[in-house]
Chain A
Amino acid sequence: AQSVTQPDIHITVSEGASLELRCNYSYGATPYLFWYVQSPGQGLQLLLKYFSGDTLVQGIKGFEAEFKRSQSSFNLRKPSVHWSDAAEYFCAVVRGGGFKTIFGAGTRLFVKA
């Protein structure tokens, strides 16, 4: 069965520091991978997606993610975090041939001054 694991429940980084949020997936074929962000009281916003091709994908708000097939990972990165990046981040994978997206449990990011 498909699954998504986000090993870190929460992460705290200093403003201006770099960020990496981890995501591992379990899926037999090449997956379709997404990162979403949820600010408090808000819905989920799509940050970026990977379907095929270049394994480094760029998203909105200065985020990028790298697909590594050998590690079954799709980690999210940002070189310099801003206080407004504090939110919950969800990695997600689409089940091939189906309609539903499977979400990880989320990583809550705290940004300290």
Chain B
Amino acid sequence: EPEVTQTPSHQVTQMGQEVILRCVPISNHLYFYWYRQILGQKVEFLVSFYNNEISEKSEIFDDQFSVERPDGSNFTLKIRSTKLEDSAMYFCASSALRDRDSGYTFGSGTRLTVV
């Protein structure tokens, strides 16, 4: 069964450092997403990406965040200057159609710890 692959599974970084979280979506999917889950809290939408541009983003997704699809297979989330409150599990997801029509396939997540 096709999978969404995320690397690394766990990353520790110092406050103020830049981090890049990597995702390989399912190959024939067209819509890509990042969500995050702070420990003990809800899964929160960050951003959706379609046709090489952001289609929607939440208020969490401020100027410190950016996404990129640098090639035909990877989808990355960059945090420019990490803060303690960025510590969370970050999930990448992809879908063949808009999420309402198909539901997502999620990756296993990257646990980001900012110290």
Taking a contact as CB atoms under 8 Å apart, the answer to whether B31 and A99 are in contact is yes
Q: Residues of B contacting A42 with CB < 8 Å?
A: 108-109
Q: Residues of A contacting B100 with CB < 8 Å?
A: 32, 51, 94, 96
Beta-carbon contacts under 8 Å, A27-43 to B: 32, 34, 36, 41-43
Is residue B75 contacting chain A, with contact meaning CB distance below 8 A?
no
1/0 contact string of B100-111 vs chain A (CB within 8 Å): 111111111100
Known contacts A43-B107, A43-B109, A104 near B42 by CB under 8 Å: yes
Q: Residues of B contacting A51 with CB < 8 Å?
A: 100-101
**A63 and B104 alpha carbons, distance in the complex (Å):** 18
Q: Residues of A contacting B55 with CB < 8 Å?
A: 99
CB distance from B91 to the nearest CB of A (A): 6
Q: Residues of B contacting A101 with CB < 8 Å?
A: 45, 99, 104
Is residue A13 contacting chain B, with contact meaning CB distance below 8 A?
no
**A105 and B42 alpha carbons, distance in the complex (Å):** 5
1/0 contact string of A1-13 vs chain B (CB within 8 Å): 0000000000000
Taking a contact as CB atoms under 8 Å apart, the answer to whether A99 and B98 are in contact is yes
CB distance from B105 to the nearest CB of A (A): 7
Known contacts A49-B103, A99-B55, A41 near B108 by CB under 8 Å: yes
Q: Residues of A contacting B18 with CB < 8 Å?
A: none
Beta-carbon contacts under 8 Å, A41-64 to B: 41-46, 49, 51
Which chain B residue has the least Cβ–Cβ distance from A48?
B103
**A45 and B43 alpha carbons, distance in the complex (Å):** 13
Is residue A111 contacting chain B, with contact meaning CB distance below 8 A?
no
Of the candidates B31, B41, B109, the one having the most CB atoms from chain A within 10 angstroms of its own CB is B109
CB distance from B83 to the nearest CB of A (A): 23
Which residues does B use to contact A, with CB under 8 Å? 4, 6, 31, 33, 41-45, 48, 50, 55-56, 58, 91, 93, 98-109
Further pairs besides A34-B103, A100-B45: 12, Cβ < 8 Å: A32-B100, A32-B101, A42-B109, A43-B107, A43-B108, A44-B91, A45-B106, A99-B31, A99-B50, A101-B99, A101-B104, A106-B43
